[in-house]
Amino acid sequence: MIEPNFERFRTMLLRTGEPDRVPLGDISVHPMLKASVLGRPVRTLEDEVAFWSAAGFDHVPIEQGLQLTDVIRRQSMHEVEARYAVGTDDTQVRSWATEGKGLITTMAEFESVHWPDPDALDYSAFSRIGTLLPPKVKVIAVLGKVFTCVSWLMGLEGLSYALADDPDLVAAIFERVGRFQHRVAENMLCFDSVGALWHADDIAFKTQLLVSPRVLRTHVFPWYTKMNRLTHTKGRLAVYHSDGALQEVVGDIIACGFDGLNPIEPPAMDINEVKRQYGSKISIIGNIDLGYTLTRGTPDEVRAEVRQRIRALAPGGGYAVASSNSVPEYVPLANFNAMREATFEYGRYPIAP
């Protein structure tokens, strides 16, 4: 059993040398897998703490933000029930974002939205978890979603047309969403249990960015910069997550002040190239392939991939093992376990050649 210790994760993010071990970096694991690892359903905050610690993570993630409010979850998403998981014939429900015409297409619709109050969101988990965490474990507060919330509210196609047809509306929505998420970040950072903020905000897909760097520099990156300044002022660290090919804006992401970049999705990004070009400026977390290895590969293949990544990327610090996106229900338990166990086996510093 490896003692969870957020200092391990923090050292990795700060790149101030090698921690004792390569940390595990995922923040999203499906409840079915959590239950399998823990041996009971994960229903309470106590269960969450027990799972993340038992599974060998140095952190417990807690999410809050506009993305969890009714304006997004109930009015901008659709649910589909299908067989998504492996090893069962049961069906599961997944929420899917609106990609066509969204909730907001005009300034009148924007103004008629019932925007929640960021101060009225439920932060009780952040305070209550303080008494539940093992002594050296911290919370990773999951937030971000500036671009994502806007694209969910407008639909990605609706946002695309509005960029040409109604730029004032686009600016107004980004301003509203950015301000909201910034306030949530302020609130999260009031809790001593929080060790880092994790900005999960997909801006790219397999071959390129969803929108131009100009749009991101105008409407999105300034909010990241503001939130990261606040985070660092409070002595915490910040990780950025986006799927897809980010090559055009990795420099911008670093300039925004992020300490870590996740998930370096293959084949969209070559993690060795990211390490070579940017490894001295930002830590990297992820890249264990959800497209094949974790989902359709064998545990031996998972172990081999983890071992290879650790050998190539972990010496000197600045790397954490994680999936190339998240750990959904269609990752076999044996593969999830293989990823964790291989990290424990091969991830002790100094890294064996």
Q: Which of 13, 140, 156, 246 binds another protein (CB under 8 A)?
A: 156
Q: Does 87 bind another protein (CB under 8 A)?
A: no
**DSSP for 2-47?**
PPP-HHHHHHHHHTSS--SBPPB----B-HHHHHHHHTS---SHHH
The full 3-state SS of 149-178, as one line of letters, equals HHHHHHCHHHHHHHHHHCHHHHHHHHHHHH
Q: Does 302 bind another protein (CB under 8 A)?
A: no
Chain centre distance of CA 92: 22
Contact 118, 187 (CB under 8 A): yes
Provide the mask over 179-208, with x wherever binding to another protein is found by CB under 8 A and - wherever it is not. --------------------------xxxx
**DSSP for 90-102?**
--EEEEEE--SS-
Q: Which of 37, 159, 177, 261 binds another protein (CB under 8 A)?
A: 159
CB of 295 to another protein, least distance (A): 4
Q: Which of 164, 235, 350, 353 binds another protein (CB under 8 A)?
A: 164
Q: Does 290 bind another protein (CB under 8 A)?
A: yes
Nearer to another protein, 279 or 286 (CB): 286
Q: Which of 1, 82, 108, 120 binds another protein (CB under 8 A)?
A: 82
Q: Report the site for another protein in 312-331 (rule: CB under 8 A).
A: 328-330
CB of 165 to another protein, least distance (A): 9
Q: Does 96 bind another protein (CB under 8 A)?
A: yes
Nearer to another protein, 108 or 164 (CB): 164
> Cα(310)–Cα(319) distance, rounded to whole angstroms?
8
Nearer to another protein, 102 or 318 (CB): 102
Enumerate the β-bridge partners of residue 94: 80
Helix 147-154 vs helix 156-165: crossing angle, to nearest 10: 90
Closest by CA position to 224, among listed 195, 249, 192, 190: 249
Q: Does 100 bind another protein (CB under 8 A)?
A: yes
Length reported for the chain: 353
Q: Does 280 bind another protein (CB under 8 A)?
A: no
CB of 159 to another protein, least distance (A): 7
> Cα(187)–Cα(207) distance, rounded to whole angstroms?
36
DSSP 116: P
Q: Which of 143, 184, 188, 215 binds another protein (CB under 8 A)?
A: 215
Q: Does 272 bind another protein (CB under 8 A)?
A: no
Q: Does 101 bind another protein (CB under 8 A)?
A: no
Contacts with 72 (C-beta within 8 Å, 6 or more apart), sequence order: 66, 149, 152, 153
Provide the mask over 220-249, with x wherever binding to another protein is found by CB under 8 A and - wherever it is not. -----------------------x----x-
Closest by CA position to 196, among listed 230, 246, 247: 230
Give SS3 for 261: strand
Which listed range, 28-36, 107-115, 137-145, 157-165, lies at the site for another protein (CB under 8 A)? 157-165
Q: Does 169 bind another protein (CB under 8 A)?
A: no
Q: Does 338 bind another protein (CB under 8 A)?
A: no
Looking up tokens 């002022």 gives 233
Nearer to another protein, 225 or 247 (CB): 247
> Cα(351)–Cα(353) distance, rounded to whole angstroms?
6
Q: Are strands 77-82 and 92-97 parallel, antiparallel or unpaired?
A: antiparallel
Question: Amino acid identity, residue 291?
Answer: G
Q: Does 349 bind another protein (CB under 8 A)?
A: no
Contact 28, 16 (CB under 8 A): no
Which residues of this chain interact with another protein, rule CB under 8 A? 78, 80, 82-86, 96, 99-100, 156-157, 159-161, 163-164, 205-212, 215, 243, 248, 267, 290-292, 295-296, 328-330
